[in-house]
Amino acid sequence: MRRACIDIGSNTTRLLVADCDGSALTPCVQERAFTLIGRSLDESRTIPSAKLVEVRDAVCRQYLLARAHGAVQVRCVATAAIRRAANGAELARMVADACPGLELELLSAEQEAKLAFLGVTRTVRLDAGARLAVLDAGGGSCEIVVGDPPAQVHWWDSVGVGSSDVTQRWLSADPPAREAVSAAARHVRELFAALEPPTASRLIAVGGSASSVRTLAGPVTDLAGIDRLLAAVSGLTAAQIASRHGVELERARLLPAGLVLLRAVCELFSLPLEFGSGGLREGVLLDAEAHQ
């Protein structure tokens, strides 16, 4: 069956259309819009009216695109930015009014973590008995899961900080000062050091930051590799990072923050950091297939 998932995140609103056959997914169409909800939240955690309209319109475009490509079921999910927004329910009403039959599902941090784990374990090759740690590094939060594939979760946690938060709080200058990067790294390291996950044999990261770093580092890196990347982008503007390293401009703005987050998790587990291709959207579709 051809299904689709629209994922409203803190930085992007993304569509995945895939053919689902049991535990297998074959992607057909993918689309992304930089809607930057997390950046738009004011001190009262309210999404501005113009941003609500922008996100609603992006969801409607992706919904119509999914239907045009034959998706018989479309799920729309929202994560950290909408969880923390005071008026997230208003966006849900706007989506329902504009796209009859489409319901915006607000995922809890636990649901987000477990669905991301499912999406990763079904899209990577794993050795038998491998205990897997998965990081879903988003714009507004980082979900970490440790478990046994395909879906046996033993531990999970959610850290309420993501690449958008780190960028806004410490790294909004272009380029960010070295002292600001160091301050951000210290704060993020302290947040993750407070976690007590069980040991794992592999660590896989997904999400926008992970995809950007994979472009620069390849499929696997480690602490030394992340430090080299931080040094390589230090002092560069977002436009220079985009030009020199082949990263989209919006992703280039978030790249230093993403590196800071990924470094903290790599240090937490003392494992090389692998980059996966699956994640939350794949997990949502696999979950729908399992419960049809």
- Write down all domains in the chain, each with its CATH number in brackets: 2-109 (3.30.420.40), 124-275 (3.30.420.150)
pLDDT of residue 151: 83
CA gap 292, 289 in Å, rounded: 5
pLDDT over 70 percentage in the chain: 99
- Residues 231-275 pLDDT 10s: 999 999 999 999 998 899 999 999 999 999 999 999 999 999 999
Helix 249-269 crosses helix 238-245 at what angle (to 10 degrees)?
Answer: 80
pLDDT of residue 95: 97
The Cβ of residue 242 has, within 10 Å, a number of other Cβ atoms equal to 18
Distance of CA 137 to the CA centre of its chain: 5
Q: Which residue has the tokens 């990263």?
A: 247
Size of the chain, expressed as the number of residues it contains: 292
CA gap 181, 186 in Å, rounded: 9
CB 132 within 8 A of CB 200: yes
- pTM for this one? 0.93
**129: exposed, middle or buried (C-beta count within 10 Å: 0-12, 13-18, 19+)?**
exposed
DSSP conformation letters of 113-126: HHHHHHHHHTTS--
Tell me: pLDDT of 130 over 90: no
Compute the average pLDDT of residues 76-105: 95
CA gap 163, 145 in Å, rounded: 19
pLDDT of residue 292: 67
The Cβ of residue 118 has, within 10 Å, a number of other Cβ atoms equal to 28
